Amino acid sequence: MTDDIIPLGTAAAETLFDKVNIAYEDAYGNNPAVEKQVQDAISMLGDKAKILDVGCGTGVPVSSTLSKAGHDVTGIDISQKMIDICRERVKGSFIKADMISFQSQQQFDAIFAFFPLFHLSYCSTHSMIFKFASWLKPGGLLFIATIPAEALVTDESLYDSSKEYVEGCEAPFMGNLVTSTLLTTQGWHHLFQQAGFEITATVYHTFQPNYTSAAPEHQMFLTGRRCHHPFLGPYPLPSVRPPPHQLSEEAWEPFAKRLTRHEFDAVLEIIKLNKEVLDVGSGHGELPIAVAKKVGKAYALEPNTGRNDLIVNHRDGANVHVAKGTAEAIPYSDRKFDAVVAMWILHYVDDLEKSLTEMVRVVDPAAPNARIIIVQGAPDNDCINLMNEACGPIAARDTDAPTIDHQGFLLAKACEVFTAHRFGDISLERVNAYCSFPDEDLSIRVSCAASILANLWYRSHPRLEEMKKAFVPVLEKFFADKPFQIGDYGVILVAKPTVKP
């Protein structure tokens, strides 16, 4: 008999696990399959491996076994009571943290996430697998333990259209019904592959929890090895790039007003030692103006005459050289700059490879701090994924060209072109940004977001109004999980010369 229905979400999970704390270990601690999975993992790891245990609970048996084997264990859990128990019993570093907002300061050889993902929405689960991949070293291992959806949900009408997951499923857990997201085995395999993992093992086990009225659980253990950089995903990459998007000032301004950006300061930090900086696609000129105020001058390239006028009018005495031109034909001589920056422009250029080659041409590889900086969307960028979901299928009715935007394709092409031109020392870093929609009334919030997002890339599309209507159910579902913000997460690519000339 269940006592409570626990809703989906982090706050509910924290309350639940603070309540059960050590009782969780009594109910689930003696699981031979978990112990075997950990021992098998140890046999795959080198000496003193760096391990992250996500949802570490009381530390038994995962963190404790890994620590006793000589590995460097970091554990995170949403429950302070669980963390307190870990710190008393297990050697390692244990941090109270919500996995969604946790920012790792290091890369790990292996990550364990044994049964901590049920309380997340599918959107957040998707995002977490990409984050796990980014926290791993190349070749690192991800170990997931879960219950596949097909083991609990037999009503196919409850599944999403892909038949890969169920949201809002009420799953029994220690005398409660916990509102859960469950992925099918196929859904898990697909998600691992999208994030750049090679699946090395899928193991099933039936376990009997030790509490009154507990039914046997049909558990699944999934192991993946990071083979591709997650920020270039989702995989597989498309074979053809979609046509470039159209951007107008009228569409950009409402979006920009709601945008909180963190990549701007990150880029300024990356180019803090550069003296000759060109910003390609400068928009309103915020970046070149900031650079000029720091180092004395900067260069702005923008194809839109109106925006060039804005830069001139708002440079506030900063020495910004403003030129009209395109990324495909940068109007400067070879090797003029020690840094080129291009933020959020590659999905607008007509010729992607030519634009990237031009950026290489105008950077002097012999300069002490030579670099090219690209900023594009992360694979879990909510804004782009929502536009793909709502607008992509409608746009596809009128063209044979692909209509699903793929930011990883753009970044992968940048890596390819830069490496071919000896700018192959490449790093990729995730950066947060989000659009705020603070209206308390859901219908107003949805209507506002639908209009802003549909207009951003499809303002001149003949089916614009149809796209706005398609956004309504998509956004209602999204805001149920993330009420007032839509993530515009980015990736910063920094390419430096591989060999100095």
CATH number of the domain residue 22 falls in: 3.40.50.150
Q: Does 321 reside within a domain?
A: no
At residue 253, does pLDDT exceed 80? yes
Confidence band, pLDDT 50/70/90 cuts, at residue 102? very high
Helices and strands counted in the chain (H then E) = 16, 20
The pLDDT value given to residue 5: 60
For residues 371 and 483, membership in a common domain is answered with yes
The pLDDT value given to residue 8: 54
Buried b / exposed e along 162-177 (16+ C-beta atoms within 10 A): eebbbbebebbbbbbe
Contact 204, 222 (CB under 8 A): no
For residues 120 and 10, membership in a common domain is answered with yes
* DSSP 8-state assignment for residue 166: E
For residues 46 and 78, membership in a common domain is answered with yes
Quote the domain boundaries for residue 453.
249-281+327-496
For residues 211 and 167, membership in a common domain is answered with yes
Closest CA to 209 of 10, 30, 476, 340: 30
Q: Does 306 reside within a domain?
A: no
Confidence band, pLDDT 50/70/90 cuts, at residue 19? confident
Phi, psi (degrees; rounded to nearest 5) at 431: -140, 140
The pLDDT value given to residue 1: 37
Q: Does 179 reside within a domain?
A: yes
pTM over 0.75: yes
The pLDDT value given to residue 454: 98
**Within 13 Å of residue 409, how many CA atoms lie on the same side as its CB?**
17
**How does strand 371-377 pair with strand 490-496?**
antiparallel
* DSSP 8-state assignment for residue 4: E
For residues 268 and 175, membership in a common domain is answered with no
The pLDDT value given to residue 501: 58
The pLDDT value given to residue 397: 96
For residues 179 and 275, membership in a common domain is answered with no
Instruction: Point out the least confidently predicted range of 5-19, 65-79, 125-139.
Output: 5-19
For residues 104 and 30, membership in a common domain is answered with yes
The pLDDT value given to residue 193: 98
CA 46-206-142 angle, 5° bins: 30
Phi, psi (degrees; rounded to nearest 5) at 412: -65, -40
Q: Does 315 reside within a domain?
A: no
Share of the chain above pLDDT 90, in %: 84
Confidence band, pLDDT 50/70/90 cuts, at residue 6? low
At residue 2, does pLDDT exceed 50? no
Helix (H, G, I), strand (E, B), or coil: what is residue 406? coil
Rounded to an integer, what distance in angstroms lies between the CA atom of residue 188 and that of residue 219?
Answer: 13
Residue 256's H or E segment, with its range, is helix 249-257
For residues 120 and 40, membership in a common domain is answered with yes
Rounded to an integer, what distance in angstroms lies between the CA atom of residue 409 and that of residue 406?
Answer: 6
User: Residue 69, Cβ neighbours under 10 Å: how many?
Assistant: 18
Cα dihedral 130, 135, 138, 142 sign: negative
For residues 181 and 72, membership in a common domain is answered with yes
End-to-end Cα spacing for the chain: 73
Rounded to an integer, what distance in angstroms lies between the CA atom of residue 261 and that of residue 315?
Answer: 20
Please, which residues have CB within 8 angstroms of residue 316's CB and are 6 or more apart in sequence? 289
Contact 456, 391 (CB under 8 A): no
For residues 353 and 472, membership in a common domain is answered with yes
Rounded to an integer, what distance in angstroms lies between the CA atom of residue 78 and that of residue 97?
Answer: 5
| Helix runs in 53-208, H state only | 62-68, 80-89, 122-135, 185-194
Q: Does 294 reside within a domain?
A: no
For residues 134 and 255, membership in a common domain is answered with no
At residue 359, does pLDDT exceed 50? yes
User: Residue 483, Cβ neighbours under 10 Å: how many?
Assistant: 12
Contact 369, 274 (CB under 8 A): yes
Q: Does 309 reside within a domain?
A: no
For residues 48 and 161, membership in a common domain is answered with yes
Digit-coded pLDDT (tens) for 190-236: 999 999 999 999 999 999 999 988 999 999 999 999 999 999 999 99
When divided into structural domains, the chain yields a total of 2
Last residue of a domain, one of 193, 228, 263: 228
Contact 178, 6 (CB under 8 A): yes
Digit-coded pLDDT (tens) for 312-335: 777 777 899 999 899 999 999 999
Last residue of a domain, one of 228, 260, 293: 228
Write out 83-117 in H/E/C secondary structure: HHHHHHHCCCEEEECCCCCCCCCCCEEEEEEECCC
Digit-coded pLDDT (tens) for 420-446: 999 999 999 999 999 999 999 999 999
Rounded to an integer, what distance in angstroms lies between the CA atom of residue 40 and that of residue 195?
Answer: 23
Strand order in 176-183's β-sheet?
Answer: 4-6, 176-183, 165-173
Rounded to an integer, the average pLDDT of 464-489 is 97
Here the tokens at position 479 are: 């805001």
Q: Does 397 reside within a domain?
A: yes
CATH number of the domain residue 336 falls in: 3.40.50
| Helix runs in 373-463, H state only | 382-390, 392-395, 407-420, 442-458
**Mean pLDDT, the chain, integer:** 94
Rounded to an integer, what distance in angstroms lies between the CA atom of residue 267 and that of residue 265?
Answer: 5
Digit-coded pLDDT (tens) for 330-354: 999 999 999 999 999 999 999 999 9
Contact 391, 454 (CB under 8 A): yes
Rounded to an integer, the average pLDDT of 31-45 is 97
At residue 403, does pLDDT exceed 80? yes
The pLDDT value given to residue 9: 64
Q: Does 430 reside within a domain?
A: yes
**Within 13 Å of residue 115, how many CA atoms lie on the same side as its CB?**
19
